[in-house]
Amino acid sequence: MRTHRLHALAWAISLGLTAACAGTLHAQTSGGNDESYTTAGIEKPAKVLIDKWGISHIYANTFYDAFYVQGFMAARDRLWQIDTWRKRGLGEMAKDFGPAYVEGDRMARAVLFRGDMYREWLAYGSDAKRVAEVFVAGVNAYIDQTEKDASLLPEEFRMLGYKPSKWKAEDIVRIRHHGLTLNAKNEIDRAEVFCKIKKDPVRVDWLRRETVPNIDPTIAEGLDPCDVPFAQLKKAYDLATATPKFSKEAIKATTEKSTNIASLYNVIDFNSDTARGFGSNNWVIAGERTTTGRPILANDPHRSHGAPSLRYISHLNAPGLSVIGAGEPFLPGISIGHNGTIGFGLTRFYMDQEDVYGYELNPDNKSEYKYKGRWEPFKVITEDIDVKGESAPRKENIVFTRHGPLLYKDDAKNQAWALRAAWLDFGMAPYFGSMDYMRAQNWDQFRAAMNRWGAPGENQVFADKNGDIAWMPGGLTVNRPNWDGLTPVPGDGRYEWADYRSMDELPSEHNPEKGYIVTANENNIPPDHPAYKKAIGYEWSNDSRAKRLKALIAKNDKSSIEDSKAWQLDTTSLPAVRLVALLKNVPEPTDDDTRQGVNLLKNWDGNETVESPEAALFEVWLSRHLRKALVQPAVDPDAAKLVGQGDVERIIQVLEKPEGWLSTEARDTVLTSSLKQAVAQTKEKLGQDPKDWQWGNLHQAVFTHPLNPILDKADKERFNVGKWPLAGSAYTPLAASYNENFQLQSGASYRMILDVGNWDASQVINTPGQSGNVNSKHYRDLAPLWVGGQYFPLVYSMDAVQANTETTINLSPDER
């Protein structure tokens, strides 16, 4: 049992348990910014100190009260965001936004957890249910406050004329749409390649998507890839999992037919640079390799950007609990941070947790499908979906096979298709598995706690104040005994999961001799490890970030916090370094634009700074011209449509060694002709003189509110945050992938660097702010810091918290 003398004093001071201490705290922090609430559900008085960066430091007298207050504060800061997340996840969008969202609601309900709740709660630990109950009680308590005082209700509710819904504890673990696995869509895309390309589809797919280790995908016996309804399956998957969008047409619609349903969801193309930007960087460095003699742990998870931020920073203090860091505002606890003894951080580990199954229907009874030679009935659940503007709920059928939710059924062809997803199983609520590990006190406890982490697959790095550093992947890994998981398979019983693999089958490191560990979503399973060829997963992020970071860290014998900052902000693109090297050997260009482009890029170091003219030209070249210029001559026109831009690593490999694809002369023509086009386009965008070009004048950060499409000009300026010039790209450690207009789409949602053991020296940044309330000073205050590569201290000790406190919130029990 831990005892923290400092934390005991902190509770006494912050909760006003002694008159002298309470008076001192009040004098230091009130400044007219105190708030007081009397709420039902809290056991004892609690206090929240909000620092100058908007972080809530919670001091509670009981363990469970800390999570109650966390829920209350999450609602205070992010009520519209978490209410929308809940409605999307439970399939309740149509109730407040109209019939355009009914189809999405039906599919969202198809991917809810529907198993035994007693077993589900136990999967996360003995106190997980109670923690969830008090967290949602805190959320609901703040909703009660908005009913007493309408001014507390965020503007979005008033703008659209509805109110937030109350939460239930099971909402937290039943909602599963946010696991970000996405492999099912790539299975569908790969099946389309095998259907439409009769000559060497494996070669075409190789160019389309890198697999690590390299594998030649195969089509399962008994499945015709041309039977796969590509568009319908991807639409159903997106309706189940994608983030909803808003439009004036959808909200005003009186029927589904009056709007484009697919346009209402932020569809993720798994093969896009943006989707591959849903990664992260993390590393941990042993004390013998740092300037302080203490470990350093760094983490910057990459996700889609918007306003408000995905991440929410909390500091929870109570008897037996003192954790600080980032999580997601709709979940209790934290997933990235420290507890005063250990630090932890995560990146995606791309294990394959999904499969698409196809079925033969009974021609005499379309409510049955064939399984192991017999006809088996679909399971049908009829649910009521409330729809805005309609007096009675709609009856919608949610259909399941033994493998999972039905995605599509074609009675005319006697076919049906369903999704099997590990994240629909027990104990797989995304990110809720952190409840156990955030309280671990050493590596053995942390490793044991990771057995409760189900989804998504993550690389967890660890460091403690005793000097230990470590890494392990977390997540339930599917055991496929007779196929690779890269294409759809028949659901007739021949392709079944053999349960999940033991965590012990995955590699790990503890105090490695080299003194550091780096992960960045690459396949980091050692090639000589048995798991490397066990179909854990084949579709990983490009390894450029990982290679760059490992090189930077390896060459530093003694690293500092400032070094880790520089590495998180590093803007060197290794794909750029490799590609511009090819320009040194092309024939002398005969036209001015090509000559200008070659001379500008051929000796460039690949550093994509805001001011760089080379970066501006290179990114226009890579993203708009070079890739398609290589794909078109490398494969036939039908294949080129399926390959699209092609995988960056595969494109570079072909250009570096064109044999078997192109002649050297044709390769050089691809390079120079596409570069000529890129120079012309860059001149159109940035002017005729390359001296005036700057990457930041193209590549810009704007944090857009989800309601942007329905806002007028004045409200757009209030709710959207930015524009700022931005460095980096999808392939730099400072990850910053962009859309067709070069506007930032995804990157570091949160940056953290822990000075393990000297916790107040730790540095973080969130963006655009801690608050989701547009009128709060903390709605946009962190965005300029984030864009400028700045951080603020993640204050932890009571002295440091008090010194930076701006607002105090008091919560007390309702004694009635």
What residue spans define the domains of the chain?
183-191+220-272+353-424, 574-607+611-693, 700-749+766-787
Write the pLDDT tens digit of every residue in 257-290: 655 665 677 655 545 555 554 679 999 999 999 9
Q: What is the pLDDT of residue 182?
A: 75
- Under the banding of pLDDT at 50, 70 and 90, the label for residue 6 is very low
Residue 204 has pLDDT above 60, yes or no: yes
pLDDT at 66: 99
72-81, 172-181, 655-664 — which is least confidently predicted? Answer: 172-181
Beta-bridge partners for 290: 559
Quote the DSSP letter at residue 626.
I
Query: Cα 84 to the chain's mean position, in Å?
Result: 17
Q: What is the pLDDT of residue 267?
A: 59
Sequence-separated (6 or more) residues with CB below 8 Å from residue 488? 187, 188, 191, 220, 223, 225, 228, 355, 356, 357, 358, 417
Amino acid 394: pLDDT? 98
pLDDT tens digit sequence for 405-443: 999 999 999 999 999 999 999 999 999 999 999 999 999
pLDDT at position 3, please?
Answer: 32
CA distance 106 to 383: 9
DSSP 197-230: --S-HHHHHHHHS--SS-----PPTT--GGGS-H
Q: Which of 330, 326, 315, 388 is nearest to 79 (CA)?
A: 330
Give the C-alpha separation, 719 to 732, whole Å: 29
User: DSSP labels for 1-42?
Assistant: ----HHHHHHHHHHTT-SHHHHHHHHHHH-TT--EEEEESS-
Q: Check whether 637 has a pLDDT greater than 50.
A: yes
| pLDDT (mean) for 121-133 | 97
Class of the CATH domain delimited by 183-191+220-272+353-424: mainly beta
Alpha carbon 338 to chain centroid, angstroms = 20
- What average pLDDT does the chain have? 94
Which percentage of the chain shows pLDDT scores above 90? 91
- Is the confidence at residue 804, as pLDDT, over 60? yes
> How many alpha carbons lie under 13 Å from residue 431 in its C-beta half-sphere?
24
Helix (H, G, I), strand (E, B) or coil at 294: coil
- Give residue-wise pLDDT tens across range 766-796: 999 999 999 999 999 999 999 999 999 999 9
Summarize the confidence of residues 545-571 as an average pLDDT: 98
**Residues 485 and 535 sit within 8 Å (Cβ to Cβ):** yes
User: In angstroms, rounded to a whole number, what is the distance separating the alpha carbons of residues 558 and 549?
Assistant: 15
Mean pLDDT of the 536-558 span: 97
Share of the chain above pLDDT 70, in %: 94
Question: What residue has token string 């308590």?
Answer: 141
pLDDT of residue 30: 37
Mean pLDDT of 33-37: 92
Percent of the chain as helix, strand, coil, to the nearest 5: 40, 20, 40
Rg (CA), the chain: 27
CA separation for the pair 271, 643 (Å, rounded): 10
Residue 396 has what pLDDT? 98
What pLDDT does residue 28 have? Answer: 32
Q: What pLDDT is recorded for position 670?
A: 98
Asked if residues 567 and 552 have their Cβ atoms less than 8 Å apart, the reply is yes
What is the average pLDDT across 381-410?
98
| Burial class, 180, CB count within 10 angstroms (exposed 0-12 / middle 13-18 / buried 19+) | middle
The highest-level CATH class for domain 574-607+611-693 is mainly alpha
Cα–Cα distances (Å) from 751 to 54, 283, 632, 641, in that order, read 16, 12, 40, 38
Query: What are the tokens at 722?
Result: 């930015």
Structure tokens at 506: 């995955």
Q: State whether residue 668 is helix, strand or coil.
A: helix
Exposure of 270 by Cβ count < 10 A (0-12 exposed, 13-18 middle, 19+ buried)?
Answer: buried
